Amino acid sequence: MYTLLRVTNLSHSFGHHPVLSEVNFSLERGEVLGLLGSNGAGKTTCLRLISGLLTPTHGQIEIQGIDLVKHPLRAKRHLGYLPERPPLLPELRVDEYLRFCARLHRLPNRRMTIAIDDAKQRCGLEDSGKRLISALSKGFRQRLGIAQAILHQPRLLIFDEPTEGLDPVQMRALRSLIRELARDCGIILASHLLPEVQAVCDRVVILHQGRICFNDYLNDDKPIYGWRVQLGTGSTLLKLTALPCITGAVAIGEDRYRVLLEDGADSAQLAQQIMRAGLHLRELIPERTDLERAFFDLIGVEEGQ
């Protein structure tokens, strides 16, 4: 593995309004990086900076060691970008559009047909070559957007909300396509769908108010599911852990606990045992996955909001 993308002290402002501040991360070949953040966190701006659509106010972006600001043409040759809205030309047919994209990326004529057929096959567009883009459904448009991004076999792929408009079957197909593409290149994927990111990404960067607040690898271990419990006043951790269906518990606030259940035990059993033990059950809610919890904890949104 080697560094495909290096982002150093990246900052960007629109006028006097800072959108990104001191963003640092890198991406290796074969890695899928998920970019998460609430609306307005700076995800799209970050992706637009990395794809050369915006010039950073401060900082440096290197793609395969090439400075994107100083040598944009050389750096962009290694880049495939799918924006939030697929950049399609509605008056063209699918094949004509892909041919135009191939020419934009300077693919030689002898490679063009093979590259177009390959991209269409990977995105399930084999039978759509003659169709007018304006007549395509949203899902097909999204697939065509992905096809134009992978057409020239770039080393770095940037997908901004790639699952937008796709049905569950297509989403699953895209997930396997991303894993397949990641064998040869690095992928940055921005999404609002936390399970989607968790399923497909090796690493996650969470942006909040233009700053990175989480940047770590996702564990391969399955996420631990548990329960959050709020009891009546006077409850203790000792009384709670004495219940037979509980394997472990931690206090997370006054009369609030996070508990893990034994295999086979469910929330109904837990509720019954709490009542029998004379502990007043006020709240019992399922614990979220690690990533989801990390996301909400980091952006400071209270549970239940």
Partner 1 sequence: MISVFARREIYSGFVTPLPWIIFSTGQIVLAWIFLQVIERFSSLDAAARQMSLTQELTLNLFGFAAIITMLTAPILAMRMFSSEFRDGSFDLIAAAPVRFGSVVIGKLLGLMILILPLCLLPALNALLLIGTAELDLWQLAAATLGLFLATLLFAAIGLYASSLTAQPGAAVLIAFAMMLLLSIIGHAKTLTTNTLSLFEWLSWNEHLFWFLLGTVRMSDLAYFLLFTLFFLLLTQRRLVNRRL
- Footprint of partner 1 on this chain (CB under 8 A)? 51-55, 72-74, 76-77, 79, 81, 83-92, 96, 100-101, 103-106, 148
Question: Closest Cα to residue 237, out of 209, 277, 201?
Answer: 277
DSSP tag of 242: T
In angstroms, give the least distance from the CB of 100 to partner 1.
6
Alpha helix ranges (H) inside the chain: 43-50, 72-76, 94-104, 109-122, 138-150, 168-181, 194-200, 237-241, 267-276, 290-299
User: Which is nearer to partner 1, 14 or 217 (by Cβ)?
Assistant: 14
In angstroms, give the least distance from the CB of 199 to partner 1.
27
Distances (CA, A) of 8 to 11, 22, 26, 154, 284: 9, 8, 8, 22, 44
User: Which is nearer to partner 1, 165 or 223 (by Cβ)?
Assistant: 165
In angstroms, give the least distance from the CB of 300 to partner 1.
31
Question: Closest Cα to residue 59, out of 19, 114, 30?
Answer: 19
User: Which is nearer to partner 1, 28 or 84 (by Cβ)?
Assistant: 84
Angle, helix 109-122 to helix 138-150, in steps of 10 degrees: 140
Residues 6+ apart with CB under 8 A from 94: 120, 125, 128, 129, 130, 131, 133, 136, 144
User: Which is nearer to partner 1, 80 or 226 (by Cβ)?
Assistant: 80
In angstroms, give the least distance from the CB of 104 to partner 1.
4
User: Which is nearer to partner 1, 55 or 219 (by Cβ)?
Assistant: 55
- Secondary structure of 102-113 as H, E, C letters: HHHCCCCHHHHH
In angstroms, give the least distance from the CB of 101 to partner 1.
7
In angstroms, give the least distance from the CB of 92 to partner 1.
7
User: Which is nearer to partner 1, 44 or 273 (by Cβ)?
Assistant: 44
